[in-house]
Chains A and B, each alone.
Chain A
Amino acid sequence: MFQYANPTQFTALATTVQPWLVAATAVLFGVGLYMAFFTAPPDYQQGETVRIMFIHVPAAWMALFVYTVMALASAVALIWKHPLADVAAKTAAPIGACFTFLALVTGSLWGKPMWGAWWVWDARLTSMLVLLLLYLGYMALWQTVEEPVRAGRVAAILALVGFVNVPIIKFSVEWWNSLHQPASVFRMDGPTIHPSILTPLLVMALAYTVLFLVLHLAAMRSEILRRRVRAILLARTGA
């Protein structure tokens, strides 16, 4: 873990790996979208509208996954003071916020034909909206505190405090009467979806994950460069 604490080493690794990840993302999205729109059968009740699921569900999974990554990075930053941990957490937040927003919007577009409403205040939707607010608050905190190390520490505390929302989102459809579909994939008894729909879903989820990796590594490299620029400017004006 500390082998890549050196920003230069990390940047070198990220730059080497990036083209492969971009290629993998393109291939996975190509395959996944083809399967989602052509191979997967239409739902017996929802018809073709069910295909929004292949965009909506992986986006929602990623929203939770990215927050978990952020919370883990924050914990590493606070406990081991790994130099790149708070960079990882800071750069993950905007990506996670975008995934959450995408999940909410695609869910809303799906809900209008299916439930008849753009938005309902049920437990799953409300807790996802709270997740978006947590992401935005986290980003706002980074913007407001000027000194990067101090900002990193308080932001890490905030991320860990907000992590309590992630299990609430996951179990919201079980704990409350929810209009939203209950868990069909990540269940103790295994998935309840037929493979013809489950496989495109998992391919799309993998595509989203690799996309997150691509964006995250690029953002981390940018943040490292941004901090270098800041250090140079401070050295020039300070000393």
Chain B
Amino acid sequence: MTLVWALIRRDLVLAMRQGGGAGMALGFFLVVVVMLPLGLGPDQAMLTRIAPGALWVALLLSVLLSTDRIFQADYEDGALEVMLLGPVPAELIVVAKTAAHWLTTGLPLALAAPLLGIFLNLPADAFAPVVATTLIGSPALSFLGAVGAAITVGVRRGGLLLSILVLPLYVPVLIFGVSAAGAAITGPVSFGTPALILAALSLASIVLCPLAAAAALRVHFR
């Protein structure tokens, strides 16, 4: 267990020293959220209606674009192979690296979401549902992305392929996340039901995705 913590700490330290993790993802999140009203028009009422969905899509794309960072650097310099030969099972390595990725990317994006919602005329009483759903749902995004990252690690043009592979798996997370985030705005659907299903998706992905991702990593190092 201390080894798993050591792995998480290692990834956190690397992310903070190398930079580019949270910063670039936040930058991309900002750019997408700025693009949307420029493209769709500034009508405040319309923006309020689409704000939860737009924030979730922008968050999803930002997380997606950063998931290839989970394994790529360690794959390229051989550290991943050394880790897989070590005492920690591959599944726990995946959990550690993905958890570190979520802490450095998913978590800051989830917390920044309501602030960026101001650009989309998100009402103040919707801030809490938005941040709650993004916090609950972003682990699912990170862990599903980790499966794609493990499948496409070391593949040329892997980033684009990763997006194609992972986006269909993101669809349920997106649907329930927006449904819960919009509870304060669009009325009838309560917050509780979709939020609980979103939590179930996150928990299931934390447990099941490392199995698939570890199997994929083992294929690459056969």
With A154-B219, A157-B212 already in contact, the answer to whether A126 and B151 are too (CB < 8 A) is no
Interface string of A138-160 (1 = CB under 8 A from B): 00110011000010011001101
Do the beta carbons of A144 and B168 come within 8 Å of each other?
no
Task: Tell me the nearest residue of chain A to B154, going by C-beta.
Answer: A145
A-B contact count (CB 8 A): 55
Q: Is there a chain A Cβ closer than 8 Å to B164's Cβ? A: yes
Question: Contacts A161-B147, A161-B169, A165-B168 known; A144 to B155 CB distance under 8 Å?
Answer: yes
Q: Report how many residues on chain A are interfacial, defined by Cβ distance under 8 Å.
A: 21
Q: Which of A154, A158, A161, A168 has the most CB of B within 10 A?
A: A161
User: When the two chains form their complex, are residues A78 and B164 in contact, meaning their CB atoms are under 8 A apart?
Assistant: no
**Does B69 sit within 8 A of A, measured CB to CB?**
no
A231 within 8 A of partner (CB): no
A210 beta carbon closer than 8 Å to chain B: no
Which of B156, B168, B215 makes the CB contact (< 8 A) with A133? B168
If A145-B155, A158-B151 touch, whether A153 touches B219 (CB-CB below 8 Å) is yes
Which residues of chain A are near B172, meaning CB under 8 Å?
168
CB pair B164 A137 closer than 8 Å: yes
B157 at the interface (CB under 8 A from A): yes
Contact (Cβ within 8 A) A130 B171? yes
Max chain A Cβ within 10 angstroms of own Cβ: one of B164, B165, B167: B165
Count of B interface residues, CB-CB < 8 Å: 21
B-chain residues with CB within 8 Å of residue A160 when the two chains form the complex: 212
Q: Which residues of A contact B169 (CB under 8 A)?
A: 161-162
Task: Kindly identify, within residues 197 to 222 of chain B, every residue whose CB is under 8 Å from any CB belonging to chain A.
Answer: 212, 215-216, 219-220, 222
Residue-wise, chain B 160-180 has the 8 Å CB interface mask toward A (1 for contact) of 010011011101100000000
A1-27 contact mask (Cβ, 8 Å, vs B): 1 or 0: 000000000000000000000000000
A residues contacting B by CB (< 8 A) are 78, 126, 130, 133-134, 136-137, 140-141, 144-145, 150, 153-154, 157-158, 160-162, 165, 168
| 15 pairs, A vs B, C-beta closer than 8 Å | A126-B171, A130-B171, A136-B164, A140-B165, A144-B161, A145-B155, A153-B215, A153-B216, A153-B219, A154-B151, A154-B219, A154-B220, A157-B147, A158-B151, A161-B147
Can you list the 10 inter-chain pairs with the closest CB atoms, starting with the nearest?
A153-B219, A133-B168, A137-B165, A137-B164, A130-B168, A154-B151, A134-B168, A157-B216, A161-B212, A157-B215
Given contacts A133-B167, A144-B158, A157-B216, 20 further A-B contacts (CB under 8 A): A78-B215, A133-B164, A133-B168, A136-B164, A137-B161, A140-B164, A140-B165, A141-B161, A144-B155, A144-B156, A145-B155, A153-B215, A153-B219, A154-B151, A154-B216, A157-B147, A157-B215, A157-B219, A158-B165, A160-B212
